[in-house]
Amino acid sequence: MNLKSIIGGVAVGIIAVAQISCKPNNKGGASGSSELAGDAAQKVYVAPGTHDEFYNIVSGGFNGQISIIGLPSGRTLRIIPVFAQSPENGYGFSEETKPMLNTSHGFVPWDDSHHIALSTTNSIHDGRWAFINGNNTPRIARISLKTFRTEEIIELPNSGGNHSSPFITANTEYAVAGTRFSVPPDDKADVPISSFKKNFKGYISFVSIDKNTGRMGIKFQLKTPGVSFDLARAGKGKSADWFFFSTYNTEQANSLLEVNASQKDKDFILAVNWKKAEQYLAQGKGKKEAAKYAHNVYSDKVHSATSTIMTEVMTLDPKECPDMLYFIPCPKSPHGCDVDPTGQYIVGSGKLAAVIPVFSFDKMQKAIAAKTFDGNFDGIPVLKYDAVLHGEVQKPGLGPLHTEFDGKGNAITSFFVSSELVRWNIEKLEVIDRVPTYYSVGHLSIPGGPTAKPWGKYVVAYNKITKDRYLPTGPELAQSAQLYDISGDKMKLLLDFPTTGEPHYAESIPASLIEKNSTKIFKIEENAHPYAAKGEKEAKVVRKGNEVHVYMTAIRSHFTPDNIEGIKMGDVVYFHVTNLEQDWDVPHGFAIRGALNAELLIMPGETQTLKWIPTKVGVTPMYCTDFCSALHQEMQGYVRVSPAGSNVPLTWGTGKNPVAEAEQKVAKK
């Protein structure tokens, strides 16, 4: 065979491959449609040792955590505990992190968290923080995108469920929290349920965010009429002073809402002029009311959290603040309420509606100026539907839920009932493209999709039903997410990837905005933990009554001290473990047999504390749980527990025999 024919043969082979890879196949799903991109494998392949293009920051739903996923690979990179305890690293179990989960109800180590909001400057991602809501026990958490840890959690009083949250304003001035359940005020809450219309209020909290530190505080609460707030978005550009909230149950039903809250032809989108609210506040229209809520803050300097119980909150009554709130009628139980990148259009998605109404901010301003009202609802003007409507997308699909934007003048809306994504042109209100999802999509996410500057390229569908998409794992299944390429005329399915918990909403942000800021170590010199042992010289064991404090160090591959005697039954032992390493990715673990709480995972330069109440007399082993070096298996030690009242002296050490030394000391005396 000569060279020419070999090359010819290769050419034929390549042509064959090219044809196969370009041919759309029918593996998209059960329906046998052709939505799968022919080059899907190539587009989601992230070669070994290379990085994903986007961080996908995904709410964990009923697991109360956040998943960090790489796109386009769909690889899970990390799970961040937020409202839930994590025995994996001790979050919510260690003495330092327990205060993070404190609330006015006490210690609540779980939640149902739905929505992610990434911080923005001028409505563009700035890569500083992620916010997430606790839906059940109303809370908002702030997560640092440097440490990928929960730094702050604030509870919300006068709220029955924090669903309409934590959407943020253009420059991250505020995160909002609209209550899903209207409730009577916390301090006057013992009222008949049937007095709903009289006593219940729909509170909306405006949580201020310090622009340098991110520190949160409830600036004010609006006491709006008793309806259910569902979702929300801030305006952008010309509408940046406004916030838009979708509502349901404007029937004000308090029982069998499935029927009773679906009576009206239209519910409302509430438009809030939050700048005006600030003005009223400055004029002294606010009223402080008694309320009880927890504010929890974690510090990377003392490596500990504090929890403060607050006792009052500022409220604004719309009745005393005219021109601040307006209702926009929106067909049939609106769910999503999304503002396009220009800030001009507000898209409502009526769960039970056959159209998608799109409202115009300019028209809304005109209607307000001309007082084109259709009566009022509990004193708040209702704008005329036709006067504020840009237009309706006709027959887009069944069960519209959420809308995001591709930055090219188009919107993509998710449809739960007809299980599809539909792309449509915002100006022309025309459907351009549709693609099925498997199965029954809830939220969708385009990188930068809710911002003034969508990064585009992909959309992820977070499906509510998984069924047969993966190998079966019994009755309980992972959740199904699907990645689509939206760079061309047709949306094309690229990848199925399972997620944990139940992702509701997620955002994606270019890796380049975050990766270079990622914290690698905590500097041991800056460790201000009161129980830190900064060097083995500071390792010691101190008894205070029945409390025993072990100032312990960990470095590859030993603990100091690793032999402790003189602990007695009835003692409460605190292991304060400082990791002396100063290199990236060298955490140490700490575990002790029979611990009733958890283990610890301690990052380089950090101090964390495990509380241990011995349950048995005897010698108890302890060891490092994170494979740290070739001699990791040797990183172990013993604690001797003696009966209450015994006279075994308190001794400790590493690399020596503590008892022998103690006996010498006794002998010298």
Partner 1 sequence: MKTSLLTIAIVTLTLWGCGGASQRAEKPETSDSVLQQQEEVHGTEVKEIALTNPLSQPMVDEGQKIYDMKCSSCHRLTDERLVGPGWLGVTKRRKPTWIINMITNVDMMLEKDTEAQKLLEQCLVRMPNQNITEKDARSILELMRKNDGEK
560 scored as a contact of partner 1 (CB under 8 A) = yes
Token pair for 412: 């993509």
Q: What is the DSSP string of 439-474?
A: T-EEEEE-TTTTSSS---SEEEEEES--TTSS--BT
Q: Rounded distance, CA 296 to CA 292, Å?
A: 13
Name the minimum Å distance from CB 151 to partner 1. 15
Name the minimum Å distance from CB 660 to partner 1. 18
Name the minimum Å distance from CB 74 to partner 1. 15
Name the minimum Å distance from CB 121 to partner 1. 7
Strand 124-134 to 139-144 pairing: antiparallel
Q: Exactly one of 143, 577, 586, 639 binds partner 1 (CB under 8 A); which one? A: 586
Q: Which is nearer to partner 1, 127 or 334 (CB)?
A: 127
Q: Rounded distance, CA 252 to CA 304, Å?
A: 44
Cα-Cα-Cα-Cα torsion 356, 360, 363, 364, nearest 10 degrees, comes to 90
Q: Exactly one of 471, 630, 666, 667 binds partner 1 (CB under 8 A); which one? A: 630
Stretch that binds partner 1, among 93-101, 124-132, 238-246, 386-394 (CB under 8 A): 124-132
Question: HSE of 253 in the Cβ direction (CA atoms, 13 Å)?
Answer: 14
Token pair for 299: 């510090």
Residue type, 436: P
User: Which residues are 508's β-sheet partners?
Assistant: 56
Q: Which is nearer to partner 1, 338 or 562 (CB)?
A: 562
Name the minimum Å distance from CB 5 to partner 1. 9
Q: Rounded distance, CA 662 to CA 122, Å?
A: 66
Name the minimum Å distance from CB 390 to partner 1. 28
Residue type, 229: F
404 scored as a contact of partner 1 (CB under 8 A) = no
Name the minimum Å distance from CB 407 to partner 1. 9
Q: Rounded distance, CA 359 to CA 239, Å?
A: 12
455 scored as a contact of partner 1 (CB under 8 A) = yes
128 scored as a contact of partner 1 (CB under 8 A) = yes
Q: Exactly one of 125, 219, 568, 640 binds partner 1 (CB under 8 A); which one? A: 125
Q: Which is nearer to partner 1, 186 or 536 (CB)?
A: 536
Q: Which is nearer to partner 1, 4 or 371 (CB)?
A: 4
Please give the DSSP secondary-structure letter assigned to residue 396.
-
For CA atoms 341, 133, 65, 86, the dihedral sign is positive
Q: Exactly one of 33, 43, 292, 342 binds partner 1 (CB under 8 A); which one? A: 43
Stretch that binds partner 1, among 136-144, 193-201, 343-351, 536-544 (CB under 8 A): 536-544
Question: HSE of 306 in the Cβ direction (CA atoms, 13 Å)?
Answer: 8
Total residue count of the chain as it appears in this document: 669
Stretch that binds partner 1, among 173-181, 190-198, 626-634, 644-652 (CB under 8 A): 626-634
661 scored as a contact of partner 1 (CB under 8 A) = no
558 scored as a contact of partner 1 (CB under 8 A) = yes
525 scored as a contact of partner 1 (CB under 8 A) = yes
519 scored as a contact of partner 1 (CB under 8 A) = yes
Name the minimum Å distance from CB 33 to partner 1. 20
What is the CB neighbour count within 10 angstroms for residue 157?
25
Per-residue H/E/C for 235-264: CCHHHCCEEEEEEECCCCCCCCHHHHCCCC
464 scored as a contact of partner 1 (CB under 8 A) = no
490 scored as a contact of partner 1 (CB under 8 A) = no
Residue type, 213: T
171 scored as a contact of partner 1 (CB under 8 A) = no
Residue type, 94: S
Q: Which is nearer to partner 1, 628 or 639 (CB)?
A: 628
Name the minimum Å distance from CB 136 to partner 1. 33
7 scored as a contact of partner 1 (CB under 8 A) = yes
Q: If we measure between CA atoms, which residue out of 82, 29, 60, 95 comes closest to residue 610?
A: 95
Per-residue H/E/C for 317-351: CHHHCCCCEEEEEEECCEEEEEECCCCCEEEEEEC
Element (H, E) at 361: helix 361-369
160 scored as a contact of partner 1 (CB under 8 A) = no
Name the minimum Å distance from CB 3 to partner 1. 7
Q: Which is nearer to partner 1, 44 or 330 (CB)?
A: 44
214 scored as a contact of partner 1 (CB under 8 A) = no
For CA atoms 546, 547, 551, 552, the dihedral sign is positive
Residue type, 628: C
Name the minimum Å distance from CB 4 to partner 1. 5
Q: Which is nearer to partner 1, 329 or 341 (CB)?
A: 341
For CA atoms 517, 521, 527, 530, the dihedral sign is positive
Name the minimum Å distance from CB 568 to partner 1. 29
Please give the DSSP secondary-structure letter assigned to residue 629.
S
Stretch that binds partner 1, among 271-279, 430-438, 511-519, 644-652 (CB under 8 A): 511-519
10 scored as a contact of partner 1 (CB under 8 A) = yes
Q: Exactly one of 28, 35, 53, 117 binds partner 1 (CB under 8 A); which one? A: 53
Termini Cα distance of the chain: 97
Strand order in the sheet with 54-59: 76-81, 65-71, 54-59, 506-510
Q: If we measure between CA atoms, which residue out of 424, 461, 459 comes closest to residue 440?
A: 461
406 scored as a contact of partner 1 (CB under 8 A) = no
22 scored as a contact of partner 1 (CB under 8 A) = yes
Q: Exactly one of 456, 593, 625, 642 binds partner 1 (CB under 8 A); which one? A: 456
Q: Which residues bind partner 1 (CB under 8 A)?
A: 3-4, 7-8, 10-11, 14-15, 17-18, 21-22, 38-39, 42-43, 53-54, 121, 124-128, 146, 447, 453, 455-457, 485, 487, 510, 512-513, 516-517, 519-521, 523-525, 534-538, 553, 555-558, 560, 580-583, 586, 629-631, 655
